[in-house]
Amino acid sequence: MNARAGRTRIALAAVVALAGAVGSGPAVAAPLAHREVLPNGIVLLVAERPAVPIVAVRLLTRAGAVFDPEDRAGLAHLTSALLTRGTAKRTGPEIDSAIEFVGGSLEAAAGRDSLTVALSVQKKDFSLGLDLLSEVVLSPTFPAAEVTRKVAEIQAAIQRSNEDPGTLAARALSRLVYPSHPYGRPVEGTRESVARLTRDDVVKFYARQARPDATVVAVVGAVTVDEARREITARLGSWARPSDPPPSITPPTVAMTPHEETIKRELTQSTLMFGRRAVRQTEPDYFPLSVASYVLGGGSTSRLYTRVRDESGLAYAVYSWVSPARYGAAFAVSAQTRTAEVPKVVVMIREELARMTREPVSERELALAKQYLIGSFPFRLDTSSKVADFLAAIEDQGLGLDYADRYKERIGRVTIRDVQDVATKYFPPASFSLVTVGEIK
């Protein structure tokens, strides 16, 4: 019953966004993790955190929604939801009972690029946890009854999510920002696309996509490198690497044409979401863009927060963010305001975007953004689960274990000129699509 309060920041969803800041430690920091490639191609990452007797494991395999066939949106999502619903040895309820009996958790979920199986257990239950994780990954049976059950559940969840204006806006915006691109389709699919999915689709998809040479395993917590290697190899070492290369895709590069879309709902407030294509972490522009986004709408000192919220009282939430993924990236701005003030807030956001392109940011704004992005990093790695998420994400996104240090160095080098250059490229207001959800006439 704790109502979250006033200044709550948006928790940026994408784990990869975590990759967006890095340590204020000494220049030559100890490596974040041990990395090695097992004989079957699995990339194993291990970070020892002995103080608390828990272990977090993340297994990522290249089986995200980006690989869904065009008429099968939601296939990766359905597949992930079924992984824990039955294996060669145990039924779904047996898996649930086994992991929950020791107070651990075992969850599988698909994102845009990858499918993740996440295990958290006390150290004493590490062995049991890994047994379950490896069963789920190596011998899922996808029972027909469970497929039927899960399809109905996902359809209902999609229906329910239509109550949430933020979800509606984000879905519509993805479609506008990524035309003809898999990222334009919702990860969970639509009620119609999910209805078409069959057990056969799931079995084939998993067999094709989940393979050791497209898999990362991050083990973090009260374990040593030797122990992690031994335990992971004992369970996943037999996972055979297929002879053909892993499936790859080249999403079409259809340019985005700015559009405006309105979704009518009976609400007292309207949700605005602006978006356009941007760049991912492998592009040099990513770092100045991160700084520019922070100045514009990153925190509670940002230009948008100051003008729209503090000075005008027009919104509780107003933010901007960069959302990078393996096959594309977006930049977005969102706000929620009372319906009568929608035009005013739209103008304010457009004006602030344009001002970023026109005028250099101040020394002070630049310094604050850089200090925050660099200095806040330790808090993104302050639990074993967060470290495991981070390690798996940077490996999966091909950023390298030195990404943390590189990020810090690149952010540190960003100049006022760089910020204005990226703003000129990415912030022209006319280049954005806009979705509005609410009681708009």
| 367 interacts with another protein by CB under 8 A | yes
Angle at 164 between CA 145 and CA 290, to 5 degrees: 105
* Structure tokens, 171: 């879905």
CB of 56 to another protein, least distance (A): 9
> What whole-number distance in Å separates Cα of residue 109 and Cα of residue 104?
17
| Piece in contact with another protein (CB under 8 A), picked from 68-76, 130-138, 333-341, 400-408 | 333-341
Closest CB to another protein among residues 40, 376: 376
Which of the ranges 150-158, 232-240, 351-359, 420-428 carries the binding residues for another protein, by CB under 8 A?
A: 150-158
Strands 215-221 and 105-110: unpaired
Contact status: 48 vs another protein (CB under 8 A): no
CA dihedral 131, 137, 139, 144 (to 10 degrees): 120
Among 29, 317, 401, 416, binds another protein (CB under 8 A): 317
Contact indicator for 73, 186 with CB cutoff of 8 Å: yes
Cβ proximity to another protein: between 226 and 311 the closer is: 311
Query: Residue 193's closest CA among 70, 335, 322, 72?
Result: 72
58 vs 133: CA distance, rounded Å: 10
Least CB distance to another protein at residue 182 (A): 26
Q: Which is nearer to another protein, 312 or 357 (CB)?
A: 312
Query: Which DSSP string corresponds to 174-198?
Result: HHHHSTTSGGGS-TT--HHHHHT--
Write out the H or E segment, with its range, that includes residue 308.
none
Residue 70 touching another protein (CB under 8 A): no
- Tell me the closest approach of the beta carbon of residue 295 to another protein, in angstroms: 11
Q: Is 28 in the site for another protein (CB under 8 A)?
A: no
Total residues interacting with another protein, rule: CB under 8 A:
74
b/e map 339-353, b = 16+ CB within 10 Å = eebbeebbebbbebb
Which of 161, 157, 182, 181 is closest to 170 using CA atoms? 161
Give the torsion sign (CA, 121, 127, 135, 213).
Answer: positive
Instruction: For residue 337, state whether it binds another protein (rule: CB under 8 A).
Output: yes
Give whichever of 101 and 230 is closer to another protein, judged by the CB atom: 101
Q: SS3 of 434, please?
A: strand
CA distances from 115 to 62, 147, 187, 325 (A): 6, 18, 11, 14
Tell me if 137 contacts another protein by CB under 8 A. Answer: no
Residue 383: other Cβ atoms inside 10 A = 17
Under the binding rule (CB under 8 A), the answer on residue 344 touching another protein is no
Cβ closer to another protein: 190 or 282? 190
Q: Which is nearer to another protein, 66 or 119 (CB)?
A: 119
Q: Using CB under 8 A, which of 141, 233, 262, 301 touches another protein?
A: 301
6 touches another protein (CB under 8 A): yes
Q: Name which of 178, 172, 108 is nearest 142 in CA terms.
A: 108
Q: Which residue in 316, 344, 412, 440 binds another protein (CB under 8 A)?
A: 316
* Shortest distance, position 25 Cβ to another protein, whole Å: 8
If one asks whether residue 412 binds another protein (CB under 8 A), the answer comes out as no
Q: Restricting to residues 87-126, name those near another protein by CB under 8 A.
A: 92-93, 96-97, 100-105, 120, 122
* Cα–Cα distance measured from residue 228 to residue 220, given in angstroms and rounded to the nearest whole number: 9
- Select 104 or 328, whichever has its Cβ closest to another protein: 104
Pick the closer one to another protein by CB: 252 or 378. Answer: 378
Q: Smaller CB distance to another protein: residue 113 or 341? A: 341
Q: What are phi and psi of 101, to 5 degrees?
A: -65, -30
Site stretch for another protein (CB under 8 A), options 169-177, 238-246, 296-304, 319-327: 296-304
The least CB distance from residue 121 to another protein, in Å, is 8
Footprint of another protein on residues 368-387 (CB under 8 A)? Answer: 368, 371-372, 374-379, 382-385
Residues 155-174 that bind another protein (CB under 8 A): 155-157, 159-160, 162-163, 165
Cα three-residue angle 297-300-302, rounded to 5 degrees: 35
Q: Between the CA atoms of 404, 220, 13 and 426, what dihedral angle is there, to the nearest 10 degrees?
A: 20
User: Applying CB under 8 A, does 127 fall inside the site for another protein?
Assistant: no
Whole-number minimum distance, CB 264 to another protein, in Å? 8
